[in-house]
Chains A and B, each alone.
Chain A
Amino acid sequence: MIEQIRNQARLLLENGDVDVVIGYAEGSDPTRTTPVFIRKAEDVDKLIYDPRCINSLPLYLNKRHEYTRKGWKKTAIIGKGCDIRAIVQLIAENQLKRDEIYILGVPCEGVVSHPEKWDGSLHDGNRASKCTDCDVMTPHETDFFPGDKPDIDRSNPYEATSKNVATLMELELDKRFAFWRTDFDRCFKCYACREVCPHCSCNVCITDETTPSWIDPAAHKKGIFSWHLTRAMHLVGRCTGCGECTRACPMGIQVDLFNQRMKEVVQESYSYKPGYSLEDKHPLITYKVDDREDFIK
């Protein structure tokens, strides 16, 4: 499979169809992989793909990122299904044009939750939670895909509820609040969750605003809560669930629980899942005559 991807990447670079191929290469130790930017055809053999390839590469397509300012006209990117959802969402939000990118889709059987858990194979013990109910193992929007694309039934717009969210939602309201109070105690506002998110695309983040300073910059409870709740709200209907925020958190806070819960609310309320349509606008900014109105009391 990877040979076909490499050949296609080589072809693209040799013909000058793309300026760069973004993919994965072997990392600093055997459990890790690293994102690579391949600019020469002879380097394409560095490209690999296996369950260790965790990073969400669409991050590098976000206009906020310096790589997008290098003047590259067209970028090829290796995408597993969930990453392609992020790319599609970026296009829907006008942060990227479809003809600026060339998507090399890969069939994916899931990735590990964390590089340290890699023991040579992927199994239930180390599979990332987002992979358990994945419906884009065969990607939905590609320019090149090795092998045939099987028809997958996508008639059900719902993704399964994450187990972690379900457990948390079973708690009483004050217990849930207590959970976050203790969890957020560890947050020191490094903003890794923001930096790694493919959808955080503002030039000036609301947390860096000073007139007025809506989000208190200090890492006390008020500042931490207002940051995480704002982040969750800004991603409602947009988060494609790559889970990078939780993986990037140096303190091990499960910040994507908020996003997963909001994802469920959006699905229940509007039957909408982001990252599947190049045109659809997310439900919080659109109005349909048959939208649910039962929350207006």
Chain B
Amino acid sequence: MAKIGVFVCQCGNNIARTVDTAEVAKYIGEQDGVVHVEDYKFMCSAPGQEMFKKAIKEKGLDACIVSACSPKMHEATFRNAAEAAGLNPFKVEIANIREQCSWVHDDKAVGTVKSKDLTKMMVERIKFNKPLERYVMPLTKRALVLGGGIAGIQASLDLAQAGIEVHIVEREPSLGGNMARLSETFPTLDCSQCIMTPRMVEVQNHPLITVHAYAELEQLSGFIGNFRARIRQKAKFVIDDLCTGCGECWEKCPFSTESEFEMGLAKRSIIYIPFPQAVPTVPVIDKTECPKILKDKCGLCADVCGPDCIDFTQQDEIKEIDFGAVIVATGFELMPNVYREYGGWRPPHMTPKKLTAKQRKALPRSDAGRLVDVINGLEFERLASASGPTGGQIRRPSDGKIPETVVFIACVGSRDCNKGVEYCSKICCMYTAKHTMLYQHAVHHGKSFVFYMDIRAGGKGYEEFINRAQDEGAQYIRGRVSRLTKRGDKILVKGADTLTGQAVDVEADMVVLATAMVSQGDSEEVAQTLGIGYDKHGFFSEQHPKLMPVESSTGGIFLAGACQGVKDIPETVSQASATAAKVLALFSKDEMMRDPEVAIVNQEKCMNCWDCVTVCPYLAIDRVELKDRNGNFRKWAAYVNPGLCQGCGLCNTACRSKSIELMGYTNEQVYAQITAFGGDII
């Protein structure tokens, strides 16, 4: 006969307001097998837990039910308490009478009846609970960092300095990310490359860090502590180990195309490094453009290469490496500069064809396609950068003239539910102020105008920075721009000043749009490869917005930088360091405990349809051959690897022959629970 203890929690007034806990306790006390009942104000408090432990010891309880809040909140609390009192933790169950009962009902009578039912169902269920033991799993103390921007670099350095082996996977030929494109950074106006490149070199030289540049993550299997990554090293057509980075090849390459790094404002050779300080300094051949690869003509780079390291037959290479934790630092994109690319404003991720008539009407009316002097923030960064296409002189893209009047438009695409994204892109106020300063410093007699909605400068030294920008000559106009049109070789900006209530027309030589920061175009596929959650904007979701801001929804995968939401550099760096701290905490133990609530297969009943193998999101199910006593093949059957199984129960529901049981949620337990509640339905 079971000896079950039931502990009904009032949760202050949270439960007691709509549930008569005393009556629930009395009713449950009359059920078969229940030998001890408590009704207490706060079961999770220290005295509550003491009462729980004392009852287990004194009454010799062999199973306990806590009727309280969601098991998400305190299941672990009471399971640990039970363990301390000598009871198997998996003989403790929570009946949720708060989130699923008291909080959703107003009528106390209803709440009380439902609480009785929920608790009684748990009483019947717990009679079938078996004492389970936790698995001990090994732990691979090696971290994978996805993305080699400032977030990835910071996290890798922090980990490596703590003695952890790190692999960085970067899909571009060089580390650096978006920060490498910036000219100077707010609010101190220090040169971005000057603070960035030493970090990149440090990464390259660190003995514990391996950089997989020009590589992508293809697949991630496994689970916290034991991930296995399939990394595709894209063919560079250059042998890494031999290349000295002398530059002979990219200087001699007779062909060129638009440079991605320079935002299309300059050309690059076909065999190239994205920028002079690239790390690693190994060039790659763009196989979509190279005439040698496409039609076997040229091959000049191979002729001039001293160490003979160019190999046109190179293929993509797949590497499989085990990791214990993953830091995702895949960064952001700027909303595309639609004035240059598409000839009109458009919402992100939406081709012009898909626009509804209403959206089409809402587009700003402009001759935009021809307005090549309308550029976005990152393009301006390249124009202002000393290593950029103009050598640091601000010259407009169309004719290379130094612009006398520049209009900066803030909030392009951000805070715009109709045509863009509804969130505030957060960094644009600051970088626009910075741009005005960079412009004023380069063109002393120039005039700069900023059209803005609000100035949002919450940050250390940020408001002062905005004031400084205004002091240095930027004219801020509060209002929106309705139209950009071509007038001669200038752009007529038609806007409004809402503070004076007047229309404002400015004839500008160049217009800079502070377009919104958006998630990487393929962030959803990345999230699906990793098995982590993402929001409707394509940013990866954190586990808890306040208390777990760097953890993803999947254990062992952490989020750093702008892939999780819009961020500036200081925030990105601190978040990256936070992920490193989380990984170090994970790696502080030599092995990991795993919950025993995993699926097991009755292999005799298994009819090997492999539906379970198809549905398993964790690749935890293998096909195995069963042998008879003479070692002859008998039949195929599924086998669940308890190390990989997360106990999600998908295989359990997919299995038609009911050959799979989920420990802790067995058929018998669930059946007992349902029948304790249900009467005859028909």
Residues of A whose CB lies within 8 Å of any CB of B are 63, 93-95, 181, 201-206, 209, 211-212, 214, 221-222, 225, 234, 281, 284-286, 289
Contacts and interface: CB of A to CB of B under 8 A. Distances in A.
A104 B123 CA distance: 59
Contacts of B528: 289
Chain B: number of interface residues, binned into ranges: 20 to 34
23 contacts: A94-B609, A181-B682, A202-B607, A203-B605, A203-B606, A203-B607, A203-B657, A204-B657, A205-B657, A206-B656, A206-B658, A211-B667, A211-B668, A214-B671, A221-B682, A222-B680, A222-B681, A234-B656, A281-B614, A284-B654, A285-B614, A286-B614, A286-B615
A93 B610 CA distance: 7
Contacts of A205: 657
A211 B668 CA distance: 6
A18 B606 CA distance: 29
B605 A201 contact: no
B657 A214 contact: no
Interface in B612-647: 614-615
B652 to A, nearest CB: 12
Contact of B609 (A95, A204, A206): A95
B604 interface: yes
A284 B682 CA distance: 28
B611 interface: yes
Nearest to B651: A285
A94 B610 contact: yes
A36 B654 CA distance: 35
A285 B611 contact: yes
B530 interface: no
Given A203-B605, A204-B605, A212 B657 contact: no
A281 B668 contact: no
Summarize A's interface: helix, strand, loop or mixed: loop
B525 to A, nearest CB: 8
A181 B682 CA distance: 9
B681 A201 contact: no
A285 B654 contact: yes
B667 A201 contact: no
B592 interface: no
A211 B414 CA distance: 58
B657 A93 contact: no
A180 B173 CA distance: 66
Nearest to B671: A212
Contacts, number: 55
Contacts of B667: 209, 211-212, 214
Nearest to A184: B682
A58 to B, nearest CB: 15
A281 B680 CA distance: 36
B611 to A, nearest CB: 5
Contacts of B615: 285-286
A172 B681 CA distance: 20
Contacts of A63: 607
A32 B195 CA distance: 89
B668 A212 contact: yes
A147 B532 CA distance: 54
Contact of B682 (A212, A225, A281, A285): A225
The 3 closest A-B pairs by CB, nearest first: A212-B671, A202-B657, A221-B682
Given A214-B671, A225-B682, A285-B615, A209 B658 contact: yes
A222 B682 contact: yes
A93 B609 contact: yes
B11 interface: no
Interface in B199-224: none
B679 to A, nearest CB: 10
B671 A206 contact: no
A75 B199 CA distance: 68
Interface string B660-679: 00000001100110000000
Contact of A203 (B604, B611, B672, B680): B604
A65 B155 CA distance: 60
B244 interface: no
A204 B609 CA distance: 14
B605 to A, nearest CB: 5
A214 B670 CA distance: 10
B485 interface: no
Contacts of A202: 605, 607, 656-657
A176 B606 CA distance: 36
Nearest to A233: B656
Nearest to B524: A289
A60 B442 CA distance: 85
B608 interface: yes
Contacts of A234: 656
Contacts of B605: 202-204
A212 B672 CA distance: 8
A201 B614 contact: no
A201 B668 contact: no
Give the one of B524, B614, B657 with max A CB within 10 A.
Answer: B657
A90 B309 CA distance: 53
B173 to A, nearest CB: 29
Contacts of A221: 682
Give the one of B609, B672, B681 with max A CB within 10 A.
Answer: B609
B491 to A, nearest CB: 41
Nearest to A286: B614
B529 to A, nearest CB: 12
Contacts of B654: 284-285
Nearest to A181: B682
Contacts of A203: 604-607, 657
Nearest to B657: A202
B416 to A, nearest CB: 26
Given A63-B607, A93-B611, A222-B682, 20 more contacts: A94-B609, A94-B610, A95-B609, A202-B605, A202-B656, A203-B606, A204-B658, A206-B657, A209-B658, A209-B667, A212-B672, A214-B667, A214-B671, A222-B680, A281-B611, A281-B614, A285-B611, A285-B614, A289-B524, A289-B528
A181 B605 CA distance: 33
A63 B682 CA distance: 36
A285 B652 CA distance: 12
A281 B616 CA distance: 13
Contacts of B604: 203
Contacts of B610: 94
Contacts of B606: 203
A225 B671 CA distance: 17
A206 B615 CA distance: 20
A93 B607 CA distance: 10
Contacts of B609: 93-95, 201
Nearest to A177: B682
Nearest to A289: B528
Contacts of B611: 93, 281, 285
A243 to B, nearest CB: 21
Nearest to A90: B609
Nearest to B609: A93
Nearest to B672: A212
